[in-house]
Amino acid sequence: MANYELNAQRILITGATTGIGRACALLLAKQGAQVWINHHGQAEQAAELADGIRAEGGQAWPVEADVTNPDAVAAMFTRVCAEGPLQGLVNNAGIILEKPFLQTDEQDWQRIMAVDLDGVYRCCRHALEGMTSAGSGSIVNISSDLGFLGREQYVAYCTAKAGVIGLTRALAREFAPHIRVNGVAPGPIETSMLSADNMSEEWLAKELAIPAERFGKPEEVAAAVGFLLSSSASFFTGQILGPNGGSWMGG
């Protein structure tokens, strides 16, 4: 895996205790970043991850906040930016819902939007305030290949992830050239979200029907995130990278 130096950047990762977020925290810390590990109700896991990173010579601190709560997000940014603005933000926190559209009620819809789209908006808003003052920064928003493809019985999730793509590209235009905003839209990845406990057998079978014929690994997504945050990606903004095994080959 390529090692893109981050030169002690201060980076916040939301939803960082498991899956893709955890892989990002481990990789970015190895690349030299000072990592803030956001969690919601997972204090033990966040502390364990931070301790493990520090034991390997890295720098990491847990920070709790529910991204659906504006006051909690504001308090989180006050804490992590106490010594200066962030240089990087990874919006990874997300949930998924498998339910036919006509059975998706108002509460279901609002919950998905609150986490998967509104949470990204809130964190971008706070991060960009500091980055604008500093005149630099980089944001990576985690979307999904389903934001492009759509999928029956996942209308709320697909809509939110498509919104993340639109938000990413619009922010990239508005805050260029000094602040870069990019996205990563993974295909099926081996995480607790994508498991037999959360997904139907039919859904899992569809996810494996891709050219790569396998699920991706969180570390493969983290590699894309690490690249986009690094100076090696200085000419990348408004881009959506797709570690997806060929599930989506559009532009």
Residue 251: the pLDDT is 57
Residue 74 domain-assigned?
A: yes
Of 4, 121, 154, 157, the catalytic one is 157
Classify burial at 198, counting beta carbons within 10 Å of its beta carbon; exposed 0-12, middle 13-18, buried 19 or more.
middle
Residue 3 domain-assigned?
A: no
The C-alpha atoms of residue 248 and residue 138 are separated, in whole angstroms, by: 25
Residue 63, domain extent: 10-240
pLDDT greater than 70 at residue 194: no
pTM: 0.94
Residue 92 domain-assigned?
A: yes
Q: Which of 29, 24, 67, 96 is nearest to 243 (CA)?
A: 24
Residue 245 domain-assigned?
A: no
In angstroms, how far is CA 107 from the centroid of its own chain? 23
Instruction: Give the number of domains in the chain.
Output: 1
Residue 142 domain-assigned?
A: yes
- Band (pLDDT 50/70/90 cuts) for residue 223 is very high
Residue 4 domain-assigned?
A: no
pLDDT greater than 80 at residue 202: no
Q: Is 157 a known active-site residue?
A: yes
The C-alpha atoms of residue 178 and residue 137 are separated, in whole angstroms, by: 7
The enclosing domain of 28 has a CATH number of: 3.40.50.720
- Band (pLDDT 50/70/90 cuts) for residue 4 is confident
The C-alpha atoms of residue 116 and residue 95 are separated, in whole angstroms, by: 7
Q: What is the mean pLDDT of the segment spanning 145-165?
A: 96
Residue 2 domain-assigned?
A: no
Residue 250 domain-assigned?
A: no
The C-alpha atoms of residue 193 and residue 164 are separated, in whole angstroms, by: 19
pLDDT greater than 80 at residue 213: yes
